[in-house]
């Protein structure tokens, strides 16, 4: 077996195309967009290079690519909320061969040690947790959501045999839009409805600048401070919303206000993978034309809940139930368009949010597990602490 550091365009192509060969017989797999994967490793497109470094390899056996992996470190967050400096690995793909997997894990571990790291998490993203994060450990028969990892079930054995341990799980919940909600959620929402200082509205392109700023403000108050979550700048927030513009739908993004100050959001998008699965990873001219065609003429049956948040001073008051109920009133009117919703990325450490989702009526359909490997094998392992 031969390890090759990805340096040339040819190496990068091998890195991308390995998954095509591996998953060619997997009906549930949807090929990611090539350019979106390559952007992760481009310093001109990935701002994490400002404070970090990244390297990747492909593994060949008899001139055939059988594995790949990337290792990376963000120096500004490596020690944040960790008992040791922790780097990451991701974009792992491999045949069902422990020796091959160990070669990829070993080279990553050695590189991260050289970078001053004492542990590695994986498979994760060289970037935010909402993309390419976690090992799929449940839901192999379900198509992956946009920018979510899909992998073979044997990957779990490859990780655990090497010595990785489960740091935390992230759940994806599914529910039918017209399913009833728990009476407890309705009760909390009714309390908020009686207070005229609370208002809720859906996103509007006419208010793009203001509401994008509101979303960033809520995010930074509700999520920053949690393990692995960094502050969102205005520039980055606008870039994210602009990236979503081709699929963005106003009536499925909701914001909550108290005395006109932004305090909560519930952000959904159409699951782009239901369209992107027809472009086969290519967003060239033909791919874009296919995207526009299927966006117009195919029926997207799934809406994707990507993030939910309430600022700390308004948590525990029923705002969570109120914004969900406000959105459902509208979502019911378009249930023929999006009969099913999946809410992704709810960590097992976030017990309050899990309770809210269960009150809404969701069931777990997928699990993505984040693993951690401590380089000091004598050091006690600790899972992510509950929030």
pLDDT digits (tens, 9 = 90+) for 332-346: 777 677 888 888 888
What tokens appear for 156 in the block? 């779990």
Within 13 A of 34's CA, how many CA atoms are on the CB side? 17
Residues 165-198: b if buried by 16+ CB within 10 A, e if exposed:
ebbbbbbbbbbebeeebeeebeebbeebeeeeeb
* pLDDT score, position 304: 87
Q: How far apart (Å, rounded) are the C-alpha atoms in residues 125 and 384?
A: 17
Given a cut of 90, whether residue 31 has pLDDT beyond it is: yes
Q: How far apart (Å, rounded) are the C-alpha atoms in residues 101 and 111?
A: 16
pLDDT digits (tens, 9 = 90+) for 177-195: 888 777 777 787 888 888 8
Look-up of token digits 């609370």: 198
* pLDDT score, position 226: 61
108 pLDDT band, cuts 50/70/90, is very high
* pLDDT score, position 102: 98
Least confidently predicted of 114-128, 197-211, 242-256:
242-256
353 pLDDT band, cuts 50/70/90, is confident
Least Cα distance to 271 among 195, 183, 341, 192 occurs for: 341
* For the ranges 37-46, 71-80, 176-185, 290-299, the one whose mean pLDDT is highest: 37-46
Mean pLDDT (the chain, rounded):
90
Q: How far apart (Å, rounded) are the C-alpha atoms in residues 354 and 142?
A: 21
243 pLDDT band, cuts 50/70/90, is confident
pLDDT above 70 as % of the chain: 98
49 pLDDT band, cuts 50/70/90, is very high
Q: How far apart (Å, rounded) are the C-alpha atoms in residues 6 and 70?
A: 9
Given a cut of 80, whether residue 159 has pLDDT beyond it is: yes
Q: How far apart (Å, rounded) are the C-alpha atoms in residues 277 and 279?
A: 6
Higher-confidence position of 321 and 348? 348
Q: How far apart (Å, rounded) are the C-alpha atoms in residues 347 and 129?
A: 11
* pLDDT score, position 74: 94
Is residue 118 a contact partner of residue 372, using CB atoms and an 8 Å limit? no
Given a cut of 70, whether residue 92 has pLDDT beyond it is: yes
Q: How far apart (Å, rounded) are the C-alpha atoms in residues 312 and 53?
A: 34
Domains, in order of start, for the chain: 2-169+370-374 (3.40.630.30), 178-338 (3.40.630.30)
């Amino acid at each position: 077996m031969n390890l090759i550091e990805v340096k040339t365009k040819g190496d990068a192509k091998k890195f991308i195309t390995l998954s095509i060969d591996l998953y060619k017989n997997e009906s549930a797999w949807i090929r990611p967009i090539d350019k979106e994967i390559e952007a992760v490793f481009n310093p001109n497109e990935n701002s994490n290079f400002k404070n970090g470094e990244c390297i990747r390899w492909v593994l060949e056996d008899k001139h055939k690519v059988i594995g790949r992996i990337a290792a990376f470190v963000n120096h500004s967050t490596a020690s944040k909320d960790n008992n040791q400096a922790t780097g990451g690995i991701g974009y792992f793909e491999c045949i069902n061969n422990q020796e091959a997997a160990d070669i990829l894990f070993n080279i990553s571990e050695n590189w991260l040690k050289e970078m001053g790291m004492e542990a590695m998490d994986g498979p994760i993203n060289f970037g935010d947790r909402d993309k390419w994060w976690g090992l799929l450990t449940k839901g192999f028969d379900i198509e992956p959501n946009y920018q979510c990892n899909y992998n073979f079930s044997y990957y779990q054995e490859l990780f655990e045999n090497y010595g990785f341990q489960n740091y935390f799980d992230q759940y994806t919940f599914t529910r039918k839009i017209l399913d009833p909600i728990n009476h407890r959620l309705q009760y909390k929402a009714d309390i908020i409805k009686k207070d005229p200082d609370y208002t809720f509205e859906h996103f509007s392109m006419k208010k793009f600048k203001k509401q994008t700023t509101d979303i960033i403000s809520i995010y930074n108050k509700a999520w920053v401070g949690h393990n692995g979550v960094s502050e969102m700048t205005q520039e980055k927030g606008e870039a994210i919303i602009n990236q979503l513009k081709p699929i963005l739908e106003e009536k499925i993004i909701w914001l909550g206000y108290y005395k006109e100050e932004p305090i909560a959001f519930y952000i959904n998008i159409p699951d782009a993978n239901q369209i992107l699965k027809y472009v086969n990873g290519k967003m060239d001219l033909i791919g874009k034309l296919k995207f526009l065609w299927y966006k117009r003429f195919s029926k997207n049956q799934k809406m994707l809940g990507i993030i939910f948040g309430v600022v700390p001073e308004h948590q525990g008051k029923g705002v969570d139930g109120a914004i969900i109920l406000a959105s459902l009133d509208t979502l019911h009117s378009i249930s023929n368009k999006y009969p099913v919703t999946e809410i992704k990325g709810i960590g097992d450490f976030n017990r309050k949010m899990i309770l809210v989702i269960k009150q809404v009526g969701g069931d777990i359909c997928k699990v993505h597990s984040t693993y951690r490997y401590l380089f000091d094998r004598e050091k006690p392992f600790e899972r992510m602490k509950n929030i």
